[in-house]
Amino acid sequence: MGLLGGSFNPGHAGHLHVARQAMRRLRLDQVWLLVSPGNPLKSPKGMAKFADRLASARDIADGRRIIATDIEARLGTRYTADTMARLHTLFPCAGFVWLMGADILAELPRWRRFRDLVRHTSFAVLPRPTYNHRALAGHAARLLRGARLAARLAPALADRATPAWVFLPTPQHEASATALRATIPGV
């Protein structure tokens, strides 16, 4: 099970690209788009209402293998480490892989209890234009260099002992929610 968390402000083709690439390369059964009720690292200014962001994620999901979910809001979790702890408890037999772009790997050390997160959840990093080198040379990648697996081992990531992560060399997608919001008048 792949988990792609985010604000989805709005959901866009780049999110769908990441979900599809991860599903194929990691041989996942599903990808859940976890719409955050509120990202602690982002200003609420310019953030659409949760219902609108969830709807935009549902618009790009297929409802079968790529599913948009409000599970974080229902669990009452705000931080990814807490969400993952709850999901591991609720679904003890599921093999979860946290999906992120290289931009998120670069900012991972700013996440609350990020060490707990990576200690208990494997993750896959997908390339993002202009972020790849910085992310792979950054603090999180250096800290976790011994846990990095070769990309050819990606299909076994969900079943590996943690910490474990992989950088997937896949085609990059240019879409960004920030750029999309800039094209909307009055936003």
Please provide the CATH number assigned to the domain covering 2-182.
3.40.50.620
Domain segments of the chain as ranges: 2-182
Q: Measure the CA–CA gap between 117 and 88, rounded to whole angstroms.
A: 11
3-state secondary structure of 9: coil
pLDDT in tens, 53-96: 999 999 999 999 999 999 999 999 999 999 999 999 999 999 99
Write down the pLDDT at residue 46. 84
Q: Kindly tell me if the per-residue pLDDT of 38 is higher than 70.
A: yes
pLDDT in tens, 142-187: 999 999 999 999 999 999 999 999 999 998 877 655 554 455 555 5
**Ramachandran bin of 103, using left for φ above 0, alpha for ψ from -120 to 50, beta for the remaining angles:** alpha
End-to-end CA distance of the chain: 34
Among 182, 143, 150, 152, which Cα is nearest to 165's? 150
Write down the pLDDT at residue 181. 42
Rounded mean pLDDT of 22-38? 96
Sequence-separated (6 or more) residues with CB below 8 Å from residue 16: 60, 66
Tokens standing for residue 122: 């494997």
